[in-house]
Structure 1
Amino acid sequence: MRYHLLKGSEFTKRTRRRAVAGLRRLRQRLDAQIPAKDSEQHLLLATWNIRDLTKTSRRRLPESLFYLAEVISRFDIVAIQEVNALKEWERIMYILGPDWDYIATDEADRENGGNGERLTYVFDRRKVSFQNIAGELVLPPSALISAETKTGLQFARTPYVALFQSGWFKFALCTVHIYFGKNYGEKLEQRRLEIEAVARYFGTKSAKEFSEHERTLILLGDFNIISPKHKTMAALEGQGFKIPKALRKKPSNSKKTSHYDQIAFGTRQEVLEFVDRFCDDPRDCNAGVFDPFESVYRAEDEERYLKEQNGDQRAFETWRTYEISDHQAMWVRLQVNSSEEYLKSLGAIS
């Protein structure tokens, strides 16, 4: 993290002090709730929908970009949704520093129901290597989505697949931002069908990926799932993907009322058993969600930001979601060092 950028002219003495105080609170809470990064044993994987990054005419406050970068920096690789333009994103990347890199899609086609956003993977090159293969998922004719009055649909925002490796662990990620529409009727059905389509497509590939390449397949992102017992969740799990128990019960939106975001696995059972391992201390856990508003833009900070709202009549609780997000960051920790198991598989040599 390039903290020296806090000395820049975009900060006044007052806003710099405020940003430093916020970063210190944020760092303390991240230290308390997220396992520490290590060099060889584990991979910290996250998904985060960052609300309307550079889509709105109002730019984020400079301090917000540091807060976003601070959260991202605590993981090894993060799938980001809603990178609507690259100006603010490139600033976040610069704050993260030279060890970080990213790959992204082109903008989602608005005529197809998208909103101009990019799906993005950002990763720490010291821990994760991109395996030079990435692509957007276009459904074959036999798998096109058909709602009641719409037929032959592709995804509104095309899922994005990329191959990575960390240590011994090979994995394929597919990040999504599923169509939202409405919470009832045909538009809800289109949402369910999109979830089912991406899960079915990759559900047939997950076993083959592991048997042929020893590669774990992970679906993650904003599925706009309403609740664990809703048909939107059944559409994902009904195709063979497994969601860690520690995540199924955790709402992921900022209001903590919905389970929009998920991380789902097509892999060996022992991977899920590791993720779901019981823990007393959050720093020893292998899955969770992180709420940045416990540290920055807190309810008690509202008065400090009245000037920055520039007469915006929206409530502070809504305003702050455009500074950070209306989603929490969801994460898992995975084992990536299989060297001991590999040596055992070779057998003893006399």
Structure 2
Amino acid sequence: MTKSVPAKDSERTLLLATWNLRDFDASKRYGNGPRLKESLYYIAEVISRFDFVAVQEVNELGEWKQVMRLLGDHWDYICTDVTDYKLGGNGERLLYAFDRRKVQFRNIAGEIVLPNNMLVSSVTTELDGAKLYSGKQFRRTPFLASFQSNWFKFDICTVHIYYGAGSGAKLKQRIEEIERIAKYFGRRADAAEKDGKALILLGDFNIVHPDHKTMKALEDHDFKIPRALNRPSNLDMTKYYDQIAFRAHQKVLDFIDTPDPAQANAKAGIVELFSAVFRDGDFDQYKDNASKTTSGKKVLNGTSNDHETLESYYEEWRTFQFSDHKPMWVCIDSDDADEYLDLISSE
């Protein structure tokens, strides 16, 4: 990771990331046991390499507060309450963690609630000449906030879009959720441009593929994804769930896309989580931990429907220690001092 992510000591750039932390501090972990203390250290180490991280799938905050203590006093966070279970939110929170030495919260935050005429799976009827709307809110309410780093001001919205299913009505709901948040958040673009702000829409979109209508639902509202991030971010590099999309001045995207992401000085990328810890060859080190979980015991007594060996189960167990999503990041030029001074001197 040290080699793949730029140093964060530059005053001219902002290192911004998104990361779905699998079932973080969730009461229900599907028989995979709690996180080890060392896992919290690894998570804190990953987050510390950035200036700002949008985090999805945070449930309770006990473990998160431990991570914050490891990060130090200069780190802060703001998060949502849990979305009501009746909406299908699974008790998850959305969260922003930021290094206060580089990022300032601009005291604006809120969860997005759709107006009646934009509801997901909406149905419109008329009664005595008046339109009546019915439909669904987001399963997990998107979280919007305003921040600033150096001269770079940004409104940011993080999401964990409903997955549902790979086809049929539930896939349609997923597509509609993406379309609704892109349309709703995108309405701020004109006002943001006048205020010199960028709009950043990021998180776990459960997008199938860049050519799929899940991606089209995002791009139809003029959100641009840097070319450097147009690649998978899950463990086996087959899924495009995580995204960072912008409505911003073209120079923001140009900066991120220069140079090529394969080069050593890339300005966007994906962190390879298991290159240094919980590696493929580390099974012997963790087999006792994996064997003590409910799922591990089923493997050992031959009642597991998913794994024949404990070593096979270790591949899944480690994702509940770290995550099954890789952090996706961008490096943004945050030093617009010269342009700002040119602007005010011409007024």
2:325 maps to: 327
Instruction: Provide, for residues 219-239 of structure 1, a one-character-per-residue CA deviation record: whole Å limited to 9, x for no partner.
Output: 000000011111101110111
Indicate the SS of the match to 1:233: helix
- Residue 240 (structure 1) aligns with: 222
Distance 1:266 1:346 in 2: 24
Question: 1:186 matched to which residue of 2?
Answer: 169
State how many pairs are aligned: 316
Instruction: Quote the offset at 1:147 in angstroms.
Output: 6.4
Q: How does 1:26-37 map to 2 (within 5 A)?
A: 30-37=1-8
Residue in structure 1 matched with residue 91 of structure 2 by the alignment: 116
Q: Which runs of 4+ in 1 moved over 6 A?
A: none
Query: Partners in 2 of 1:95 and 1:344 — Cα distance?
Result: 42
TM-score by length of 2: 0.88
Structure 1 residue identity aligned to 2:279: R
Q: Which residue of structure 1 lines up, in the alignment, with residue 255 of structure 2?
A: 274
For 2:175 and 2:335, the matched residues in 1 are separated by: 37
Report Cα offsets for 1:103-135 as digits up to 9, x if no partner. Answer: 000012111111101100000000001011100
1:85 aligns with 2:66: no
Aligned residue for 1:216? 198
- Asked whether the 8 Å contact 1:39–1:127 carries over to 2, the reply is no
Q: Which residue of 1 aligns with 2:156?
A: 173
1:93-172 alignment to 2 at 5 Å?
93-146=68-121, 151-172=134-155
1:27-72 deviation line (CA, Å, top 9, x unaligned):
xxx2210011124200000000000011136220111000000000
Q: Tell me the CA shift for residue 346 of structure 1.
A: 4.8
Q: Name the SS of the counterpart of 1:38 in structure 2.
A: coil
Question: Residue 255 of structure 1: CA displacement?
Answer: 2.0
Letter of the structure 2 residue corresponding to residue 269 of structure 1:
Q
Query: Which residues of structure 2 form unaligned runs of 5+?
Result: 124-132, 300-306, 308-312
Following superposition, the deviation at residue 207 of structure 1 comes to: 2.5
**Matched residues in 2 for 1:151 and 1:272: separation?**
38
Mapped pair 1:76 → 2:51? yes
* CA distance 1:290–1:280, shift in 2 (3 Å): closer
Output the amino acid matched with 1:159: P
State the identity as a percent. 52
More helix by share: 1
Determine if contact 2:158/2:203 at 8 Å carries over to the other structure: yes
Q: For 1:132 and 1:147, locate their aligned partners in 2 and report how far apart those are by CA, in whole Å.
A: 33
State the Cα distance separating 1:85 from its structure 2 match: 0.7
- 1:95 and 1:237 mapped to 2: Cα distance? 38
Q: TM-score normalised to the size of structure 1?
A: 0.87
The alignment's C-alpha RMSD in Å is 1.7
Q: Deviations over 1:57-93 (max 9, x none)?
A: 6220111000000000000000000111111111111
Is the 2:14–2:333 Cα contact (8 Å) retained in structure 1? yes
Q: Distance in 2 between matches of 1:291 and 1:187?
A: 31
Contact 1:147 1:189 in 2 (8 A): no
